[in-house]
Amino acid sequence: MPRKRAKQAAASLELATPEESRELTKSIGATRLFAKYERSFTAASGLPLTLRPIGTFRMPATGHRKENPFCALVSTARKGCLACLMAQSELEKNASRKASTLHCFAGLHDTLVPIRMGHRIIAYLQTGQVALEALDNSHYDRAHSEMILRGIELDSQAARKAYRQSVSLDRDAYQGFVKMLEIFAESLGAAANTLHLAKAEKSGNPAALKAVRHIRQHSDRPISLSEIARIAGASVRHFSKVFKEETGLTFVDYLTRERVERAKERISQSSDRISDIAFASGFDSIAQFNRAFKKVAGESPSSYRLSANG
């Protein structure tokens, strides 16, 4: 991709608000999908795996059963904690379209993998606290020198022992694990979109609930804002305000997501032509369908079919 196009693609990505990210992260983290994968990943790699909301200023893997004991010890020193937090902030800045790995002052590596819902980054998968070469005393000596320069005061004997307990992986093996996380992040992005729609469907507001039910039953035909407001028993202005407050989406965004989710099911479960699926899902044109599908799913319909059947 030419440099200009690459910059434009990166610029098209948006970040969810910190509040929305925390809510979605909580919902994703409570799914069986994440729990099952987290156990499998940790068992295979020996590394922690956590979900990180956008803009989170906290230590990674705190309290995780696979947290690196050296990182846990460093976090008990004020300057050590600050150094790690600043590194995490820098790592997040670099994790946009793909995974980003940071080599910290102690010689360990951390990685963030963005989770996207369409063109929006909603959270991150985080792993690491890992050495990408076999550790010996010389590695700790270098890390200890860095700690002295940074004013990080720890018991040297305890720090050395904890450092030598760090997981070491071959660089290629670690990249393989990161690639697995990138694939898993795609599944979590799709799950987040489903959860987002499910939240709207469970809305406690009568007007929003009537609207959601009608959309789910009739998304394959044209539905106007005035029509759905009338069905909800509210004025267009009042309905628009209530619907956004209850679901987190505008009426148009919700209808589009519902249609795309229906189209995704048909694409993955049938061999029907994509053009036929587009019109059967309620879209007026192929161009409109392609734009909406890529915005919600993060890829084209044909690419989605290949990955779904791969």
What is the tens place of the pLDDT at every residue in 229-281? 999 899 999 999 988 877 777 899 889 989 998 999 899 899 999 999 999 99
Confidence of residue 3 (pLDDT cuts 50, 70, 90): very low
CATH code assigned at 243:
1.10.10.60
Per residue in 54-90, pLDDT tens?
988 888 899 999 999 999 999 999 999 999 999 998 8
Residues 164, 302 share a domain: no
What pLDDT does residue 194 have?
A: 73
Claim to verify: residue 146 and residue 24 sit in the same structural domain:
yes
Q: Taking residues 171-192, what's their average pLDDT?
A: 90
Record the pTM: 0.69
**Alpha-helix runs per DSSP H in the chain:** 3-12, 18-29, 32-45, 69-74, 78-94, 137-150, 156-164, 171-201, 206-218, 225-232, 236-247, 251-269, 274-280, 286-297, 301-308
Domain finish residue from 139, 166, 192: 192
Tokens standing for 69?
A: 């004991």
Residue 10 pLDDT grade (very low, low, confident, very high; cuts 50, 70, 90) = very low
| Domain shared by 125 and 187, yes or no | yes
Same domain, residue pair 146 and 251: no
Q: How confident is the model at residue 220 (pLDDT cuts 50, 70, 90)?
A: very high
Same domain, 207 and 274: yes
The pLDDT value given to residue 310: 62
- Whether 287 and 200 share a structural domain: yes
Residue 114: the pLDDT is: 94
Say whether both 162 and 182 belong to one domain: yes
Rounded percentage of the chain residues whose pLDDT exceeds 90: 59
Number of domains within the chain:
2
**Are 65 and 131 found together in one domain?**
yes
Question: How deeply is 237 buried, as exposed, middle or buried, from its count of CB atoms within 10 A (0-12, 13-18, 19+)?
Answer: exposed
63 with 181, same domain?
Answer: yes
Do 154 and 204 share a structural domain? no
Range of the domain at 220: 194-308
Q: Are residues 150 and 64 in the same domain?
A: yes
Average pLDDT, the chain: 88
Based on the fold, state whether residues 36 and 181 are members of the same structural domain: yes
